[in-house]
Amino acid sequence: MSIRFELVSKRYEGRDALADISFLVDSGEFVFVTGHSGAGKSTLLKLLALIERPTSGIIEVFGERLSKISRRQLARYRRQLGLVFQDHRLLLDRNAFDNVALPLRLDGYPETAILRRVPAALAQVGLGGRESSMPAQLSTGEQQRLGIARAVVCTPRLLLADEPTGNLDPQLAVEIMELFVSLKTQGTTVIVASHDLPLIQKIRRRTIVLEHGRQIDDFRPENAHGS
Amino acid sequence: MDLEGASAARAWRRSHLDGVLFGLQRLLRDPFGQMLTLGVIAVALLLPALGLLALERINAAASAWRPSGDLTVFLSAGEPVERALELADSLAGRQEVVATEVRSPDDALAELRRLSDFAEALSALDANPMPALVIVRLSPVGANRIDALKQELAALPSVDWVQVDKRWLERLESLLEAARRAVLLAAAILAIAVLLVVGNTIRLEISEKREEIVTLKLLGASDSFVRRPFLYIGLWYGVVGASLSLLLVWLSLKWLQPALADLAASFGNEVALSGIGAQGAVALLAYGAALGWSGALVASTRHLRRAEPT
Ligand SMILES: Nc1ncnc2c1ncn2[C@@H]1O[C@H](COP(=O)(O)OP(=O)(O)O)[C@@H](O)[C@H]1O
Ligand SMILES: [Mg+2]
């Protein structure tokens, strides 16, 4: 078991962004969270990244109750995560290499390992050879892929991606999703928030559907097709 | 566990190294923009440094010059003033002595009358109870053997007792002590000014870098990791500000030197105002570094807390 939500609600100024959400996710599972804009997809990821705390309910990640994680333990918890942000959140004063190297450096990887892993991660997202580019020199789509490389570079236990393909053309979007799916081999659990239905239909994975903060569906295409 | 410890140590070392470089780069990127902060630090260190230096020199000068500890020789009651004059003459030729002065019993009584409330009672006396006395002003040589001299004079048959007069010295010392405290008080106030100025600079720096700080926290950087570069900025401010103040100390001393040399010469001794010295320079740099670091620590602890992801 990787993630457990039990009757989780998040209320902003009297309005529910999420209401009574319950689900389980296995280790190494790939899950889409979808729904219209404002449905609560980002809020769900923020709760998992401990950017927000739920108003009520229980969240467990890798057997640990998130409510028990104090401010001081936050950094250690987040180092097991890979985060892909809607707005990329790149560090604008350092080049592509140093952006991707950052999680490795926070984890204290030796410089030789960093020199090996960073170019490999950049190549995985189609940015091979762009090590010395500054973020401002990259297109929006390339910035998004740089953010993705940074999220996968240190083999996270849990990858949380918020609209990771919003700025990519359909073919590239599929390639990135295939990269995420392949992370299963190293045991990474992946949660992707996306309202890109064609993409979701193409990838055919478990999908949790939200509407106005409520969970209205949780389907597994494989099972539906008996695979 | 061992591996984990090694990589934690590596991450820690690396973040310190990055911090040192980042802080220096930050300062070098826009040195003139930092002039106000650096100037405040330089002046705030310059004033106490000069003050303490001056006190040290005055102290040294005073002890080189300590000579005029005076002796007052009280003759036995009834000894005529002539005996005092004889004694004064015999002392005047000695190298321990710079000058002598004789007070007759009449002088002494007159002075007592002037100074005391007992004028009436004193005038009722028929005989003058005051002894004749000799005030001996000592040379540096005499000052050095003031105790031996006191014993020698006290042993004379016509002498009742000898008083060593150090009051002026005590006065000078308490004056110097008061001045020293004033300098330390000023230093403390200026130190607070440095903390505030560095703190404010760091606050601006943090608000400028807010987005980056939030991103670092989201990627799992600890509070101390996020804070480190700002501490090094503070440290560099302190070090560069202190270097500037060293330069100012040097210039001030150069400018003061001729005036002080004249002054020293008028006292007949060499009170050269030497520099702050290697030890003093290191102390000043360390003091500046500590102030800068502390200012940054206070400000960054306060303001980094607020830079949380939303
Ligand atoms: N910080 C916030 N303060 C107030 N309301 C918020 C905040 N964040 C999200 N919301 C509201 O919560 C709801 C869900 O938002 P969000 O999770 O961002 O939706 P999605 O990512 O599915 O578009 C929306 O109605 C949004 O306006
Ligand atoms: Mg969203």
Q: A131-137 — which CB contacts under 8 Å span 24+ positions?
A: A131/A95, A131/A96, A131/A97, A132/A95, A132/A96, A132/A97, A133/A95, A133/A96, A134/A92, A134/A94, A134/A95, A134/A96, A135/A88, A135/A90, A135/A91, A135/A92, A135/A96, A135/A99, A136/A92
Q: Which of A182, A214, A177, A180 has the alpha carbon at shortest distance from A196?
A: A177
pLDDT of residue B133: 86
What residue of B is the nearest CA neighbor of A94? B212
| Average pLDDT rounded to a whole number, residues A102-119 | 93
pLDDT score recorded for residue A54: 96
Single-letter amino acid code for the residue at A93: D
pLDDT digits (tens, 9 = 90+) for B281-302: 999 999 999 999 999 999 999 9
Length of chain A in residues, anyone?
A: 227
Torsion, Cα B94 B99 B102 B103, to 10 degrees, reads -140
CA dist A16 and A19 (Å) reads: 6
Nearest ligand 1 atom to alpha carbon A43: 17
- CB within 8 Å: A105 and B11: yes
Complex ipTM: 0.92
Interface test with B, best of A51, A69, A114 (most B CBs within 10 A): A51
Q: What is the pLDDT of residue B3?
A: 63
Residue span(s) of chain B under CATH 3.30.70.3040 come to 68-164
H/E element, A144: helix A140-152
Q: Which of B22, B212, B215 to mutate to test the interface with A (most CBs of A within 10 A)?
A: B215
Q: Cβ–Cβ of B11/A107 closer than 8 Å?
A: yes
- In the predicted structure, residue B272 carries a pLDDT above the cut 60: no
Confidence (pLDDT) at B67:
46
Taking CA atoms only, the protein residue closest to ligand 1 atom 17 is A40
Most confident of A193-207, B94-108, B249-263: A193-207
B301 shares contact with chain A (CB less than 8 Å): no
CATH class of the region B68-164: alpha beta
Q: What's the pLDDT score for residue B43? A: 94
Query: For residue A71, with 0-12 CB atoms within 10 Å meaning exposed, 13-18 middle and 19 or more buried, which class applies?
Result: exposed
Q: What is the pLDDT of residue B167?
A: 64
Please state, in angstroms and as integers, the Cα–Cα distance from residue B1 to each residue in A69, A215, B8, B224, following that order: 22, 42, 10, 22
B268 pLDDT band, cuts 50/70/90, is low
- pLDDT, average across residues A54-81: 94
Are A21 and A215 in contact by the 8 Å Cβ rule? The answer is yes
Rounded-to-integer distance, Cα B182 and Cα B125, Å: 50
**Min distance B230 CA to chain A CA atoms (Å):** 16
- In angstroms, what separates the C-alpha of B232 from chain A's closest C-alpha? 18
- The residue of chain B nearest to residue A100, with distances taken between CA atoms, is B219
- Please report, for the domain that includes residue A219, its CATH number: 3.40.50.300
Residue numbers in B near A80 (CB within 8 A): 220
Count of structural domains within chain A: 1
**Structural domain contains residue A110:** no
| B56-62 mean pLDDT | 74
Quote the CA–CA distance of B203 and B302 in Å, as a whole number. 9
Cβ(A193)–Cβ(A162) below 8 Å? yes
Q: CA-to-CA distance for A57 and A23, rounded, in angstroms?
A: 12
Provide the terminal-to-terminal Cα distance of chain A, rounded to the nearest Å. 22
Burial class (CB in 10 A: 0-12, 13-18, 19+), B10: middle
Mutate to test the interface with B, among A71, A74, A104 (most CBs of B within 10 A): A74
**Would an 8 Å CB–CB cutoff place A6 in contact with chain B?**
no
Quick one: which of B305, B282, B63 has its CA closest to B176?
Answer: B63
Q: Regarding predicted confidence, which is higher, B50 or B275? A: B50
Using alpha carbons, select from B194, B246, B185, B237 the residue that is nearest to residue B50. B246
Q: Which residues are bridge partners to A56 per DSSP?
A: A9
Nearest to B7 among A91, A103, A107 (CB): A107
Q: Please check whether residue A21 lies inside any domain of the structure.
A: yes
Lowest mean per-residue pLDDT among A24-33, A206-215, B57-66, B78-87: B57-66
| pLDDT of amino acid B29 | 78
Which of A10, A43, A87, A214 has most ligand 1 atoms within 8 Å of its beta carbon, as the pocket-test mutant? A43
pLDDT of residue A122: 97
Residue A17 located in a structural domain: yes
Q: Which chain B residues touch A93 with a CB distance below 8 Å?
A: 212
Q: A195 pLDDT exceeds 60?
A: yes
The pTM (predicted TM-score) of the whole model is 0.77
Least confident window among A138-147, A179-188, B262-271: B262-271
* Closest residue in B to A103 (Cα–Cα): B219
Q: What angle do CA B177, B178, B184 make, to 5 degrees?
A: 90
* Ligand located closest to A44 CA: 1
Q: Is A113 on the interface with B (CB under 8 A)?
A: no
Q: If you measure CA to CA, which chain B residue comes closest to A81?
A: B219
CA of A14 to the centre of ligand 2 (A): 19
Degrees, nearest 5: CA angle B278-B284-B290: 135
Q: Tell me: the pLDDT tens digits for B140-175?
A: 777 777 788 888 988 999 898 888 876 666 777 788
Is B218 in Cβ contact with A89 (below 8 Å)? yes
d(CA B109, CA B105): 6
Per-chain residues with Cβ under 5 A from ion ligand 2: A 42
Residue span of the structural domain in which A205 resides = 1-80+198-227
Note whether B210 contacts A: Cβ–Cβ < 8 A. Answer: no
Question: For chain B, what is the mean pLDDT?
Answer: 84
For residue A52, the ligand 1 atom closest to its alpha carbon is 1
User: Can you tell me the distance from the alpha carbon of B10 to that of B16, in angstroms, rounded to the nearest whole number?
Assistant: 10
Closest CA to B246 of B42, B79, B7, B60: B42
Helix (H, G, I), strand (E, B) or coil at B133: strand
User: Is the confidence at residue B215, as pLDDT, over 90?
Assistant: yes
CB under 8 Å to B78, separation ≥6 — which residues?
none
Residue pLDDT, tens place only, B18-40 = 888 887 887 787 777 788 889 99
- By mean pLDDT, which of A110-119, A183-192, B36-45, B87-96 is the weakest? B87-96
Q: Residue B74 — left, alpha, or beta (φ > 0 → left; ψ -120 to 50 → alpha)?
A: beta
B1 pLDDT above the threshold of 50: no
Pocket test residue of A8, A12, A197 for ligand 1, highest count of atoms within 8 A of CB: A12
Tell me how crowded residue B5 is: count the other CB atoms within 10 A of its CB. Answer: 10
Q: How far apart are CA A23 and CA A25, in angstroms?
A: 7
Question: Would strands A64-65 and A56-61 be described as parallel, antiparallel, or unpaired?
Answer: antiparallel
Which residues form the pocket of ligand 1, taking CB atoms under 6 Å from any ligand atom? Answer: A 12-13, 17, 35, 37-43; B 310
3-state secondary structure of A57: strand
Question: How many Å apart are CA B217 and CA B8, to the nearest integer?
Answer: 17
The pLDDT confidence band at residue A115, using thresholds 50, 70 and 90, is very high
Domain contains A67:
yes
Cβ-based contacts of B7 with chain A (< 8 Å): 107-110
Strand A56-61 to B70-75 pairing: unpaired
Specify whether the CB–CB gap between B190 and B42 falls below 8 A.
no
Q: What is the DSSP string of B210-249?
A: HHHHHHHHHTT--HHHHHHHHHHHHHHHHHHHHHHHHHHH
Backbone angles phi, psi at B161, to 5 degrees: -160, 165
DSSP character for A164?
A: T
